[in-house]
Amino acid sequence: MNDSLRELLHSVELLDIHMDGFVARTDNRALIKSGEGLQLLGRRARDEIKTQPATGDTPARIEVRYAMGLMVTGPGQEGNEEPIRAGVIECHLVAIYTVNGSLPDMQTIEAFADTSVLFNLWPYWREFVQESSQRLQWPTIRLPLFKFTNPVTPTPSRSKSASSATPKPATRARKRPPVE
């Protein structure tokens, strides 16, 4: 971790986290209910970073928006190995921070967005996925804890090509016993 990121971490305060839109739908109820061979593909992409410098008594602000998504697929039919989409859960999460002092350079803000912001947003995403899967009457989906694989590698932003935001395997859905 470089010194400017360390300095930002010591001067930043979380002001708000909120959801800015969501989709949760079932595309194939029979496949979901069977629970057989379900796979989860997750994705996250940083949509936007907004900054506002300090003015007078108003502290500087950093606002980061992430798109989070989870697609549930099932095995393809005989003769067609293409997985069948069974459902999707997606949302946009926004985190807003105040910064005591001046804003650092954009590279430091991006490193902050790709590490600390994701770490702060992940519990909200986990809760949304678990609650949505239950409301949709799917097997309960419990995402794992967030772990940094490489805290200095930037997360793909939506401004880059779609291939840079390749879905990654998430976790398995837990099969709930049928309701009698």
Q: What is the pLDDT of residue 173?
A: 45
pLDDT at 148: 63
Count how many residues are written for the chain. Answer: 180
Q: What pLDDT shows up at residue 79? A: 65
Quick one: pLDDT at residue 145?
84
pTM of the model: 0.77
Q: What is the pLDDT of residue 37?
A: 84
The pLDDT, as a whole number, for residue 83 is: 86
Pair type for strands 12-26 and 39-52:
unpaired
| pLDDT score for 158 | 44
Condensed to tens digits (0 to 9), the pLDDT of residues 134-159 reads 999 998 899 888 776 654 444 444 43
pLDDT at 176: 44
pLDDT recorded at residue 149: 63
Q: Is 98 helix (H, G, I), strand (E, B) or coil?
A: strand
Cα–Cα separations (whole angstroms), residue 45 to 21, 106, 114, 121: 15, 17, 10, 12
Give all domains of the chain, ordered by start, each with its CATH number: 3-138 (3.10.420.10)
What's the pLDDT at 5? 93
- Concatenated DSSP letters for 26-80? ES-HHHHHH-TT-EEEEEEEEEEEEEE--BTTBPEEEEEEEEEEEEEEEPPPTT-
* CA gap 22, 9 in Å, rounded: 29
Give the residue ranges of the chain where pLDDT is below 50.
151-180
Is the Cα torsion angle 164, 19, 152, 101 positive or negative in sign?
A: positive
